[in-house]
Amino acid sequence: MLGVRRAMASLGADAWLITHLPNIAYLCGFSGSAGVLLVESARVTLFTDGRYKIQAAQEVTGARVRIVRPSALAAASEQLRGRAKRIVGFDPSQLTVAQKKQLDRSAGPRVRWLPRAGVVEQLRAVKDATEITLMRAAALLAGEVFGEVVALIKPGVLESDLAAEIDYRLRRKGASGVAFETIVASGRRSAWPHARPSAKAVRKNELVVLDLGAILRGYCSDLTRTIFVGRAPARIRGWYVAVVEAQQAARDALRPGALAGAADAAVRKVLKGFGLERHFVHSTGHGLGMEVHEGPRLGLGSASILQAGNVVTLEPGVYIEGTGGIRIEDDVHILPQGTELLTQVTQEFIEI
């Protein structure tokens, strides 16, 4: 809450309205799926409904809980209605046009709304030691399941069955869910960076991309490895080496004070040296935490400044239409000096 209050002071706001659920969970511990948090100078209030009465009483710290109906948003903005003029901040990227109209109606004309995106996200981008401990565990869990499921890959096994094994094993080992829809893509389908697992069988002499992540105690992991079924030809082996080197170059570019875009530039430079730059069709990585995609983004020209405590993915890849794709993704914690790899899985090219 301290961080929000500091932001309020520097932006001249009297209150801040938070509607994005991961931000609410971060600030007060509430993990329910409906609610609004209102930070005022003298009090903090979580507005939610009867379904979360017992849960909120157990989970919430640093805020009083008000059980309201029918609308938490209306109740929060009615609490702002008054005689005095007030400036209230909110994130315009996390509110629909209809919700904004509701705010205007319920809060009345004395409230001036101050749109400012990413205020809580900026706080969340820097993880403290407790968060890092949780993220290490989430990353190790993904690695453990990857190791188990690799042993199940053989010609004839379906992508969808491998994905189901991944999801099941993540949950059996304590994950509350998957951090995103698991990707298992084989053969030419591995050239689709976001392929959905299909009923296609894995065949001999194919690449297989596995991209998986857990949500463990509220924090996400995100891990990708690419393996080959059989002995890989030299051409594919060369692509693999290029992607490993690209990821290493990105990691070397991560340091407090550096531009997030520098990691992406480092990847493109290495891939260019291999003549593969045009086959890299997405960004180098993204922040990771309570959400699987958060700040800072590591994309082309990204101007965010990296900080110690950031956790980011590094996931360069090459995608060759008609043949297949290779992506290698790890989760990296930026230290005051150097980096810590949270994912602990070999980057050796696995051939089975």
| 91 versus 222: smaller Cβ distance to Mn ion | 222
Sign of CA dihedral 124, 129, 134, 139: positive
Range in contact with Mn ion (rule: CB under 5 A) among 68-76, 221-229, 234-242, 268-276 = 221-229
14 binds Mn ion per the rule CB under 5 A = no
What are 95's two structure tokens? 């509110």
E strand or H helix at 70: none
| 89 versus 325: smaller Cβ distance to Mn ion | 325
Range in contact with Mn ion (rule: CB under 5 A) among 19-27, 82-90, 155-163, 311-319 = 311-319
| 19 versus 313: smaller Cβ distance to Mn ion | 313
Give the burial string for 188-225 (b: 16+ CB within 10 Å, else e): bbbbebebebeebebeeebbbbbbbbbbbebbbbbbbb
291 binds Mn ion per the rule CB under 5 A = no
267 three-state secondary structure: helix
How many chain residues bind Mn ion (CB under 5 A)?
A: 2
121 binds Mn ion per the rule CB under 5 A = no
The burial of 149, by beta-carbon neighbours within 10 Å (0-12 exposed, 13-18 middle, 19 or more buried), is given as buried
58 CB-near residues (< 8 Å, 6+ apart): none
313 binds Mn ion per the rule CB under 5 A = yes
Range in contact with Mn ion (rule: CB under 5 A) among 47-55, 77-85, 144-152, 306-314 = 306-314
At closest approach, how far in Å is the CB of 53 from Mn ion?
36
| 159 versus 222: smaller Cβ distance to Mn ion | 222
Torsion of CA 72, 292, 282, 195, to 10 degrees: -100
283 binds Mn ion per the rule CB under 5 A = no
| 180 versus 274: smaller Cβ distance to Mn ion | 180
Range in contact with Mn ion (rule: CB under 5 A) among 197-205, 252-260, 307-315, 339-347 = 307-315
Q: Single out the residue of 254, 283, 290 nearest to residue 268, CA to CA.
A: 283
Concatenating the DSSP letter of every residue in 13-57 gives -SEEEE--HHHHHHHH----SS-EEEEESS-EEEEE-GGGHHHHH
Could you say which of 14, 167, 206, 222 contacts Mn ion (CB under 5 A)?
222
| 191 versus 220: smaller Cβ distance to Mn ion | 220
At closest approach, how far in Å is the CB of 126 from Mn ion?
19
The residues that touch Mn ion, with contacts defined as CB under 5 A, are 222, 313
